Structure 1
Amino acid sequence: MCGRVSQDSQSDYFSYIGWQNPFDYARSPNRPPGTHPLVLHRISDGAQHADTLHWGYLPPWPGYKRGPASNARLDTVLGKSPFWRPLLGRRIIMPCDGWYEWTGPKGDRQPWYISPKDGAPLLMAGIAAWEPGKEADERHGFAIITDAAAGGLVDLHDRRPMCLTLEDAYHWMDPTLEVDYALDLLTTARPESAFQWWEVTRKVGNSRYQGEDATKPIA
């Protein structure tokens, strides 16, 4: 699962991916779904764009009673389920420093912070209902694609976000790339061995907590 991320180093994202005209947005070491994180995309005209879009997608289906979906399971995306099929042509990247998971029983949950060992930004693959001219609301939101976790990450959570290499992220955002070829990129996401993780302050359990120690290891 990917239910909380750190987006706290805006200048690094743009220089890392080679994006032009850095986009000013509010940094956050503890950003949850339902907010408007920075995303990179080439939707519509193929040019390089940065926007703050709604994290979470609420489909326009009559009678749909569940809340907005912030994650899209890889198996359902690859199966082109009717829930996600309309979004597959609008592919985005959510850059971030890392994400959080929790372990332990209800009422005594310990947060962990997961980040890349090489210190480079993470490029999480996502799909969006948004397009130019639409409101950045839940009806036009986005979801991060997740897959089953493996290796040591499985001890933290049984799912993990699909984090692409820099080259694959470029291809993922290419609007001219056919959907089937784009989905093939999801089979080569960065492996569990590329990440490190540690326990962090329980204050991050409150999504409003924005302290400088949010991602720091606790003693």
Structure 2
Amino acid sequence: MCSRFSQREAGAVYANQMGWGQYVGDPGSGPKYNVSPGTMPMVLHRLSGEPAVSRIFWGYSPRWHEKSPAINARLDTVLRQSPFWKPVLSRRIVVPVDGWFEWTGEQGVKQPWFIHPKDDRPALLAGMTGWEPGSDDHPNHGMTIITDDGAGGMVDIHDRRPIALAPDDANAWVDSGLSVDDALLLLSTPRPESEFGWWKVSYKISNRNYQSPDATAPI
């Protein structure tokens, strides 16, 4: 799964990774080194037609859902267009991250790891949302990140991973003119595990309020 990630860069850096010279929005508020569910991370989208950078609540629930909002969407349920996800399959976003955190070990002494692209360029994670311009910050209008089974060495850290798209696929993913069926095909070609590295980080990041720049530093 993906339950924490880092967004240390400005929106312009993430937009540049998509090849967007111009875009709508200025989310501001500075870097976030330890982004957790229930907060407002930056996302890249074209929900109003133009390339845009916005902040959207992390966690999604349909109006009929009475449990906690979902922060991740399993790829198998997305591909079969389950009733939970079908309403947002056409409302596709990209969540830009410098990397994400996973934990290993026993409860109470779990070791956090930071997983990141080896080239140090942002990873572009496939996501979906119930949000539209003007929506309030509510789980009905929140966003989720799509995850799939881990593979290769990364499975030693966690058995699931977010789907990171190459820039061209990420641009196609947020294109509202692309059909749902064609968009879902993009999820079959994520960046491979070989493009990522990982290292242990401080136990301090297990506290969601820890926002020091050293949150992603190796120990």
Query: So what's the TM-score if we normalise by structure 2?
Result: 0.95
Q: Which stretch of the first structure deviates more once superposed, 50-59 or 75-84? A: 50-59
The equivalent of 2:5 in structure 1 is 5
Please say if residues 15 and 44 of structure 2, whose CA atoms lie closer than 8 Å, have aligned partners that are also in contact: no
- Does residue 93 (structure 1) correspond to residue 94 (structure 2)? The answer is yes
- Does residue 163 (structure 1) correspond to residue 164 (structure 2)? The answer is yes
Cα distance, 1:66 vs. partner? 1.8
Distance 1:174 1:81 in 2: 22
Identity of aligned residues (%): 53
- Does residue 23 (structure 1) correspond to residue 58 (structure 2)? The answer is no
- Does residue 35 (structure 1) correspond to residue 39 (structure 2)? The answer is yes
Give the aligned residue type for 2:86.
R
Cα distance, 1:50 vs. partner? 1.1
Superimposed CA distance per residue, residues 86-122 of structure 1 (whole angstroms, 9 cap, x where no aligned partner): 0000000010100000000001000000000111111
Give the aligned residue type for 2:52.
H
User: Which of 50, 62, 65 matches 2:53?
Assistant: 50
Give the aligned residue type for 2:157.
L
The equivalent of 1:60 in structure 2 is 63
Structure 1 gap ranges (5+): none
Please say if residues 25 and 38 of structure 1, whose CA atoms lie closer than 8 Å, have aligned partners that are also in contact: no
Distance 2:92 2:8 in 1: 23
The equivalent of 1:130 in structure 2 is 131
Structure 2 gap ranges (5+): none
Cα distance, 1:172 vs. partner? 0.2
Equivalent residues in 2 for 1:73-84 (5 A)?
73-84=74-85
Please say if residues 38 and 53 of structure 1, whose CA atoms lie closer than 8 Å, have aligned partners that are also in contact: yes
Cα distance, 1:24 vs. partner? 3.6
Give the aligned residue type for 1:51.
S
Please say if residues 15 and 53 of structure 2, whose CA atoms lie closer than 8 Å, have aligned partners that are also in contact: no
The equivalent of 2:213 in structure 1 is 212
- Helix, strand or coil at the partner of 1:125: strand
Superimposed CA distance per residue, residues 39-80 of structure 1 (whole angstroms, 9 cap, x where no aligned partner): 01001x32111110001002211xx33201000000000000
Give the aligned residue type for 1:39.
V
Q: Which stretch of the first structure deviates more once superposed, 45-54 or 187-196? A: 45-54
Cα distance, 1:133 vs. partner? 2.6
Please say if residues 46 and 174 of structure 2, whose CA atoms lie closer than 8 Å, have aligned partners that are also in contact: yes
Cα distance, 1:134 vs. partner? 1.7
User: Superposition RMSD on alpha carbons, in Å?
Assistant: 1.1
Equivalent residues in 2 for 1:186-201 (5 A)?
186-201=187-202
Cα distance, 1:9 vs. partner? 1.2
Query: So what's the TM-score if we normalise by structure 1?
Result: 0.95
